[in-house]
Amino acid sequence: MSAEREIPAEDSIKVVCRFRPLNDSEEKAGSKFVVKFPNNVEENCISIAGKVYLFDKVFKPNASQEKVYNEAAKSIVTDVLAGYNGTIFAYGQTSSGKTHTMEGVIGDSVKQGIIPRIVNDIFNHIYAMEVNLEFHIKVSYYEIYMDKIRDLLDVSKVNLSVHEDKNRVPYVKGATERFVSSPEDVFEVIEEGKSNRHIAVTNMNEHSSRSHSVFLINVKQENLENQKKLSGKLYLVDLAGSEKVSKTGAEGTVLDEAKNINKSLSALGNVISALADGNKTHIPYRDSKLTRILQESLGGNARTTIVICCSPASFNESETKSTLDFGRRAKTVKNVVCVNEELTAEEWKRRYEKKKKK
């Protein structure tokens, strides 16, 4: 590995924006398509109510699942296999297309989303690699519901806690880890976890996720010739939708859920704002479980892509604007990334000698 790769490097959070088409209820309500995609520019610009927003990429409503994956997420596979941490998360109001983008229809080559495509790609890369590399892949799947972490692979674990490892990196203690050796293994785990998720019917969405889901892929590899060990963690996060309670018809438990969702999303917004302001003295990661888990992804050691999902309808104009504002702030946040390498004694010695000579 070259010396350059060993030095932590700044890496801005990548923000891509995806608009879905008008849906049936918006069309029935006579909602207008209020977003403009300026001509003669790269696909990285949108305007709404006269205000222009620039992102790393903008996907129009007709963009295919494959296009979104190739241009927003595919590169993170090689990053994770090279020993970097990665994060992709979808952010937006209820019914804006987050779950469609992250998950889609698993097993359908056209409709599948980012997660199944990443899983297939990881294994395809590994199958094509040199035989002297040994891989161990573990996955975990949990949700944050009412600010409690529930293990989706062991429903008896309903309130897991966030701890820090020896490098002060947060992790969820006690989360079930499953070893997997094929895409099929992973999809089985996902189906098992999905059946345990908190879902409710709201006015905005027939199957609205009432929790943030976190799917973690942990890739460890060892080069059997030189004993070099690399590890990369990939967080794939489908956030619950931000929403105006008045629009969703939420009552009782669903209302409490909505308040909790909005509270954790505002904690996420506060972390992004603090990082964007360059106010590094205090970043309020501890204000929610969500921001604790995503601590490395926001300003830390990870290559992070945020997919902001938006409705183009006049009915949702204010929510779309606030999603776009969130994305614009997030785009200014810089992470500091480096390869996660476990050094052999020999390598430690070599580097120590090299430093002494300097």
Binding residues for ATP: 92-99
Indicate the annotated binding residues. Answer: 92-99
95 and 208 in contact (C-beta within 8 Å)? yes
Cα four-point dihedral sign 118, 124, 130, 136: positive
Residue 255 to residue 65: CA distance in whole angstroms? 32
83 and 76 in contact (C-beta within 8 Å)? no
Residue 272 to residue 294: CA distance in whole angstroms? 11
3-state secondary structure of 167: coil
Residue 231 to residue 178: CA distance in whole angstroms? 16
Query: Please, what is the end-to-end C-alpha distance for the chain in angstroms?
Result: 19
Taking every pair of Cα atoms in the chain, the longest distance, rounded to a whole number of angstroms, is: 74
Burial (CB count within 10 angstroms: exposed 0-12, middle 13-18, buried 19+), residue 281: exposed
Say how many residues make up the chain.
358
